[in-house]
Structure 1
Amino acid sequence: MSETPETAPPVITARNLTVRYTLGHGLFGRKTHLDAVDNISLSIARGSFFGLVGESGSGKTTLGRALLHAAPISDGEVIYADEEVRYDLRKIGKPELKDYRKRAQMIFQDPYAALSPRMTVRDIIAEPLEVMGLTKSRAETDARVREIAAKCRLNLEHLRRFPHAFSGGQRQRISIARALVSGPRFIVADEAVAALDVSIQADVLNLLKTIQRDMGISFLFISHDLSVVAHVCDHVAVMYLGQLVETAPTRALFARPRHPYTSALLSAIPSLDPDAPKTAEKLEGEIPSPTNPPPGCKFNTRCRFARPECRQSAPALRELASGHRVACHFAEEFDFSRAPQRAAAAPA
């Protein structure tokens, strides 16, 4: 029986992961710390398309980089495991890290800045093979480049050109080909379609889904656009100020969000019906500074339903249904999937 995202073993497991930066000295010589990722635990199944959403500054990119061993892991652990190897990224050595680099890759947000203007498309795609020593001859390298280019809908004529000759969507396909050429099992796509037009976004998203299905690659898809996440992801995690506040299968999350922050994000998705009433929930205030987060639940300063308990203790990420975990003291009390009930559920 073939594996599904619900039954497949994890390719990446993070337990109590923290990424902390020291920003310098404050008053009286005290060091100022910023927890960009704060005590996060999650698992990404093999062959899954895992979405990560949240506002700018919530720590999504830092989490993705930590899972690739490109950001310092201050506490906790990150375990990578496929059919051949198992690595603890906090204890990984240089030989294992070199091997991990070919197994885990990244697609960057800006296709204009991610490609060297002085290299041809062929050289850009071939560079990982040459740096990692994955091919033994130029002929073997060229054969692999042509194979991956075809998967990413690039023809032989494209390989002789420079990046300036391409549109944004074509450049992103070049970036995808570069990420795929080493044969990775896990890819972090960091806002991979955010800089593209809507029509081009659909083409790139369909390409990523085809690659996932045909090559069995696991994706961490970072985005701020929940309508895009709904189209491609089978599981979604919502991040706020360095912490996960909700994680669930995509259908369950969109059908019934159990955290007020998730509810607010979903309400902001524009409707295709111009006559539909506007139901977006306004979040008061700005996201707090990660160097001075509020006590208790980090969302309590912007939550309409906050109570004294929310300001005194931080809620744990707990499971309410199969695969659906929420960090809210009162998740069972409110039904955030129904706008009239949300308006009537304001605490006394």
Structure 2
Amino acid sequence: MSDDTLISARGLSVGFSIGKGLFDKRILKAVDNVDIDIQSGSFFGLVGESGSGKTTLGRAFLKAVTITGGSATYKDGEVEYDLTTLNGAKLKDFRKRAQLIFQDPYAALSPRMTVRDIIAEPLEVMGLTSSREETDERVREIAAKCRLNLEHLRRFPHAFSGGQRQRISIARALVSGPKFVVADESVAALDVSIQADVLNLLKELQRDLGITFLFISHDLSVVAHTCDHVAVMYLGRLVESATTRQLFEAPRHPYTKALFSAIPSLDPDDEKSAQKLEGEIPSPTNQPPGCKFHTRCPFVIDKCKAEEPVLEHADGTGHEVACHRWVELMEQKAL
């Protein structure tokens, strides 16, 4: 792990027991053997289909679900936490440093609280301020950064649009001064025009406050606009990881290529054809052997069905891919 790595995981796994009896020991592997490094101050994207494990991985980094295997650490300067064993007073301190922006701006806010009280709640629960005046000052400061004015603080959530509610959610997440924020599909429920406004706000806050974002999304166009680095997830595993430019210019994994080919083009003369994926993502409770993607991959061979590929460096730039045939397919220009 380099000095500027904020979150680092090796072999990280998260499993949930789904057995219905004393002797039923079945485990659902939502995240399986993930290696990942998130650099401090970056806007790190995590993409994949529904059911790929994106949200569970994000919650594992927030210590919101139990990590059942591997290692995960948070390191900010002299402060370091082992996320696999974190509890008690250290967990309470970690909550000040890592926060979540929820997906649904309508369900995330209490209808019985004013905007001021919603934003102030983390300060009061964590004991970060010593007086109401100090709390109000912190609330007004972060509200202004999130483009909310003093009049907004007196109202209740029902008086706001979806975009305004999401700005309230962002202010609540940032009021404690976190260094790491997970934004889980945080613009998926918003209109396209409002999405751009919220994304620009997040980028502005990242720049001004030095926040590290883990941005979870299924929308590749949004990821391309926002993120510095992107990791692609499939059935609980990372299949590719690279800078945004590298990934969009030269995807190395067939799954990544299929995701990109499905992005609609506004150019009527663009004759690219989408690489259709047959079938649906397999169930985490009944995962196929070998490469998890082989049941839907158009380039599958016998080796793919028997041996699971590991995430390896594709070149000297940090581009990583987990595919047995990526070199061959690149040479054939199949990707």
- Mapped to 1, the partners of 2:157 and 2:133 lie a distance apart of 23
- Mapped to 1, the partners of 2:289 and 2:189 lie a distance apart of 36
- Mapped to 1, the partners of 2:298 and 2:23 lie a distance apart of 38
Alignment of 1:118-137 (within 5 A): 118-137=112-131
- Mapped to 2, the partners of 1:160 and 1:323 lie a distance apart of 48
Aligned pair 1:178/2:133, yes or no? no
Query: Deviation of residue 275 (structure 1)?
Result: 3.8
- Mapped to 2, the partners of 1:279 and 1:233 lie a distance apart of 26
Query: Deviation of residue 8 (structure 1)?
Result: 6.2
**Residue 300 of structure 1 is aligned with which of 288, 294, 299?**
294
Aligned pair 1:11/2:6, yes or no? yes
Contact kept in structure 2, 1:111 and 1:171, CA below 8 Å:
yes
The C-alpha deviation readout for 1:244-296, integer Å capped at 9, x for no partner, is 00000110000000000000001111112134225211100111010010000
- Return 5+ residue gaps in structure 1 as ranges: 1-6
SS at match of 1:332: helix
- Mapped to 1, the partners of 2:80 and 2:73 lie a distance apart of 7
Q: Which amino acid aligns with 1:199?
A: S
Aligned pair 1:206/2:200, yes or no? yes
The C-alpha deviation readout for 1:100-129, integer Å capped at 9, x for no partner, is 001000001000000000000000000000
SS at match of 1:335: helix
SS at match of 1:24: coil
Alignment of 1:204-283 (within 5 A): 204-283=198-277
Contact kept in structure 2, 1:109 and 1:195, CA below 8 Å:
yes
- Mapped to 2, the partners of 1:8 and 1:147 lie a distance apart of 31
Tell me the TM-score normalised to structure 2 length. 0.97
- Mapped to 2, the partners of 1:92 and 1:287 lie a distance apart of 33
Alignment of 1:14-33 (within 5 A): 14-25=9-20, 29-33=23-27
- Return 5+ residue gaps in structure 2 as ranges: none
Alignment of 1:66-77 (within 5 A): 66-77=60-71
State the partner residue of 2:34: 40
- Mapped to 1, the partners of 2:30 and 2:60 lie a distance apart of 10
What is the aligned-residue identity percentage? 71
The C-alpha deviation readout for 1:37-59, integer Å capped at 9, x for no partner, is 00001010000000000000000
Q: Which amino acid aligns with 2:303?
A: E
Q: Which amino acid aligns with 1:70?
A: A
State the partner residue of 1:142: 136
Aligned pair 1:323/2:306, yes or no? no
- Mapped to 1, the partners of 2:271 and 2:161 lie a distance apart of 37
Contact kept in structure 2, 1:8 and 1:46, CA below 8 Å:
no
- Mapped to 2, the partners of 1:47 and 1:266 lie a distance apart of 26
State the partner residue of 1:168: 162
Contact kept in structure 2, 1:104 and 1:185, CA below 8 Å:
yes
What is the aligned length? Answer: 333
Runs of 4+ that moved beyond 4 A:
none
Root-mean-square deviation (Å): 1.5
State the partner residue of 2:94: 100
Q: Which amino acid aligns with 1:262?
A: T
| Worse-superposed segment, 39-48 or 80-89 | 80-89
- Mapped to 1, the partners of 2:207 and 2:266 lie a distance apart of 29
Contact kept in structure 2, 1:189 and 1:220, CA below 8 Å:
yes
State the partner residue of 1:88: 82
